[in-house]
Amino acid sequence: MESIAAVVIGAGVVGLACARTLARRGIETVILERNLAFGSETSARNSEVIHAGLYYPTGSLKARLCVAGRQQLYAYCGTHAIGHRRCGKLVVATSAGQEGRLAALQAQGEANGVDDLQLLSAAEARALEPQLACTAALLSPSTGIVDSHTLMLALLGDAERDGASLALRSPLRGGSIEAGGIVLESGTVDRLQVKAAMVINAAGLWAPQVAGALRGFPTALIPASFHAKGNYYALAGRSPFTRLVYPLPEAGGLGVHLTLDLGGQARFGPDVEWLPDPLAGQPIGESDHRDYRVDPARSDAFYGEIRRYWPALPSESLSPAYAGIRPKIAGPADPAADFLIQGPAQHGIPGLVNLFGIESPGLTACLAIAESVAAELQIG
């Protein structure tokens, strides 16, 4: 059996950031990824937004890591020639009754350390975005967009330059907590066993399943798993907006918002479509059988939501684009859960860190999450 210093399970943006952080500290690191390419699940199916840190309870991991991660991410993009733009966003109230929530959101963001928020009147908002309909808006100049694929390429390139290696088509088949390390079995036809001093479970949608596959891990510490699908629609033609536009947040998500790619193309989403029994009938290591197709019939609801803040949205201008699935650890009847970074201090197993419920703002926070993992492992 081969021994290795560290294994990262999952090559999404957070797993790659963790591998980079370990490799930069001189730790021999292997990244196990079950798919044919890195970042092909949650990291490739999101809004690609760099969040400022408005929405999350003050002191929560989401709030702290989003604000710190946003600053780190802008700096990293600048030094690594990663496509990004600090375009700003407007969170809008579309009735007088919503304006109090807008003010509360500003107060929440400021308590989290977001120091550039501006409350705007309807006229001030329309001066920025003439086609916008609202009664008031909150401007977040620090919000931006990023090319997530190029970001992941850069993280992987950094990790590999410092000695890390990526093993594709290497699903985890099982493992066990043993004296002196964690034994992992991975692979498809040819199975490989390794003993690692450190294991970072960054498996995203399947992180609870991965933790459950480690014999000796206390199952009572594995959180419930919920998957919420988010569908996106693309706008035909060029967007009339130069900033992102968000409604006020809703249960399970941030509402059907308008985002832009770096070419100026607009897309709308995600909505919230709760999926049943995410792990039922899905053995660990098998391919993802989730249906990522976007149902064209869902566009009716999209038109209604979008026209609250863009009444001039033309009919027949939306087409199905793509869908992603959020790895949640709280269901539709519960308040949104914080990130759960579960290290030795929580479960008592040396060298193991589980990353549960890393949904938005996980992309924004990826570099800060990686530093938190290093702190959990007490590596300087």
298 touches 186 (CB < 8 A): no
Question: Residue 286 has what pLDDT?
Answer: 60
Q: Tell me the C-alpha distance between 52 and 91, whole Å.
A: 12
243 touches 283 (CB < 8 A): no
| 2-47+149-223+336-376: CATH superfamily | FAD/NAD(P)-binding domain (3.50.50.60)
For residue 243, give the DSSP letter: S
Residue at 7: amino acid letter: V
Question: Residue 335 has what pLDDT?
Answer: 83
- Cβ-based neighbours of 204, under 8 Å, separated by 6 or more: 10, 12, 14, 15, 41, 42, 43, 327, 358
Parallel, antiparallel, or unpaired for β 29-32 and 165-167?
Answer: parallel
Q: Where are the domains of the chain?
A: 2-47+149-223+336-376
pTM for the predicted model, two decimal places: 0.96
Percent of the chain with pLDDT over 90: 88
* Nearest partner of 187 among 285, 281, 282, 283, judged by Cα: 285
H-run or E-run covering 368: helix 366-376
Q: Tell me the C-alpha distance between 226 and 180, whole Å.
A: 33
What CA dihedral angle connects 97, 100, 106 and 111, to 10 degrees?
A: -140
Number of Cα atoms under 13 Å in the Cβ half of residue 219: 4
DSSP-assigned beta bridge partners for residue 182: 177, 196
Q: Tell me the C-alpha distance between 175 and 177, whole Å.
A: 7
Would you give the end-to-end CA distance of the chain in angstroms? 28
The two structure tokens encoding residue 59: 């002191």
Question: Residue 278 has what pLDDT?
Answer: 63
**Any alpha helices (H) in 227-337, and if so which ranges?**
299-306
- 265-308 pLDDT, tens digit per residue, is 999 999 999 988 665 556 665 656 678 999 999 999 999 999 99
Whether the CA torsion 371, 372, 373, 378 is positive or negative: it is: positive
Q: What is the mean pLDDT of each run of 10 residues along the chain (380 residues)?
A: 94 98 98 95 95 96 98 98 98 95 96 98 98 98 98 98 96 94 87 93 95 96 94 95 93 83 94 78 61 92 95 96 95 91 97 97 98 94
What CA dihedral angle connects 30, 34, 39 and 45, to 10 degrees?
A: -160
Question: Residue 175 has what pLDDT?
Answer: 96
Q: Tell me the C-alpha distance between 327 and 207, whole Å.
A: 9
Question: Residue 287 has what pLDDT?
Answer: 57
Specify whether the backbone of 264 is left (phi greater than 0), alpha (psi in -120 to 50) or beta: left
Q: Tell me the C-alpha distance between 141 and 294, whole Å.
A: 31
The two structure tokens encoding residue 213: 């596959």
- 180-220 pLDDT, tens digit per residue, is 899 999 987 677 899 999 999 999 999 999 999 999 999 99
Number of Cα atoms under 13 Å in the Cβ half of residue 356: 21
Q: Which DSSP string do the residues of 109-131 spell out, in sequence order?
A: HHHTT----EEEEHHHHHHH-TT
**Any alpha helices (H) in 136-260, and if so which ranges?**
148-161, 207-212
* Nearest partner of 146 among 309, 362, 372, 351, judged by Cα: 362
Q: Tell me the C-alpha distance between 295 and 316, whole Å.
A: 15
Question: Residue 129 has what pLDDT?
Answer: 98
116 touches 138 (CB < 8 A): no
80 touches 159 (CB < 8 A): no
Q: Tell me the C-alpha distance between 16 and 31, whole Å.
A: 8
